[in-house]
Structure formats: structure tokens, C-alpha cells
Amino acid sequence: MTRISLIVALLALSACAQTSQTPLDAPVDAATAVNPDLVRPKVRPAGLGRVVRKAARTVEEFDVTTAEERKEAAAVPAAAVEQKLGQTIASLGDPTQAGFWIKTPLVKSEGKGRVVYPGSGKSVQVDLIPIEAEASAGSRLSLAAFRIIDAPLTELPEVEVFSGG
């Protein structure tokens, strides 16, 4: 009897796995269609449109910025009007998002800025991207920016964030 009930239970579970799927050529209702304007932001920070290969395994493979872009990002603006926003603990952001950016609660709107790592004294120009969190929460810094300021990838360095530039 237990064998029969086990078989019945397995048949019931296998029936659950057979969900109805619409064919790829079936018409899509306009109300359920995905609006491409809602899927991706219209304005992307520099480099976020680049694609990191799925087979990427090393830092060099994930960092798809060019040598010219790294040189430009590392350059300190001559007479930039900057405002210090504060200090934050930076973790490594999504390595598949290329470019020089920091996602931080220290800003309320997107803009240009600079990040300084006191440990090396180096700085990098970045796109400032706001995130919802307390100002004392940490930030996420791009792989390319981490490399420019010589911050250790496996640690949580404290960096200074400036707006403007």
C-alpha cells in the first residue's frame, strides 16, 4: 500500500512540473508586455553599457575599461569646484558593471564626483549614483575605480567622496 501511495505522490509531483507555456510566436497582450524603458535606465553612467564576458574570471577580464579611460579617470581636475560629501566604507560593487562609479547614500541624485583612498593617496573621477540607505551605510565602488585608487579588492577600505568636478 505504501508503494502505491508513493507512486501516486510522485505522479502528482511530476504533473506539477508540467506547466503550460505559451509558444514563442504567440501574441503578447499589450498590458503584460515588458516596457523596454522600464527595464534599463535611459541614462547610464559611463561604461555601464559595456558587456563583461560571461567567461570572465580574473580582475583584468572583468575590468573592461580601456587604458585611456583609466588615465582620464585618474587625472585630478585642475580647478574643480568640489564639495566633500563625507567618508564611507566601500565594498566591491558588481564587477560585471563596467566603468568608474560609486553607488552611495551620500548623494540624492546622479552626478559627477571623485573618490579618494587615503591609504594610497590616489583618487578617481566617478559617476555618483544614489542608493536608498542611511548616510552612515556603506557604498559600492566599481572594480575599475578600486584598481585606479589601489584599494585592496578583498577589504573594505574607507574612502572620501567628493561631488563636483
Spans of all domains in the chain: 46-164
Lowest mean pLDDT among 62-71, 86-95, 98-107, 133-142: 62-71
Q: Within a 13 Å sphere around the CA of 78, how many CA atoms are in the beta-carbon half?
A: 0
Of 96, 100, 99, 102, nearest in space to 61 by CA: 96
Give the CATH number of domain 46-164.
Answer: 2.40.40.10
Q: Are 141 and 92 in contact (CB under 8 A)?
A: yes
Tell me the pLDDT tens digit for each residue of 38-76: 444 444 444 545 677 777 778 777 877 888 887 787 777
When the pLDDT of each residue in the chain is averaged and rounded to a whole number, the result is 77
Q: What confidence score (pLDDT) does residue 81 get? A: 77
Count of CB atoms situated within 10 Å of the CB of 13: 9
pLDDT at 162 over 60: yes
Mean pLDDT to the nearest integer, 66-95: 83
- pLDDT band at residue 10, thresholds of 50, 70 and 90? low
Structure-block grid coordinates of residue 159: 574612502
Q: Within a 13 Å sphere around the CA of 136, how many CA atoms are in the beta-carbon half?
A: 0
Give the residue, 106 or 27, on which the prediction is more confident.
Answer: 106
Q: What confidence score (pLDDT) does residue 8 get? A: 61
Of 35, 63, 27, 53, nearest in space to 147 by CA: 63
Strand 122-130 to 111-117 pairing: antiparallel
H or E segment to which residue 84 belongs: strand 82-92
- Cell 536608498 identifies what position? 132
Q: What confidence score (pLDDT) does residue 37 get? A: 46
Percent of all residues in the chain with a pLDDT value above 90, rounded to a whole number: 42
Distance CA 125, CA 101 (A): 8
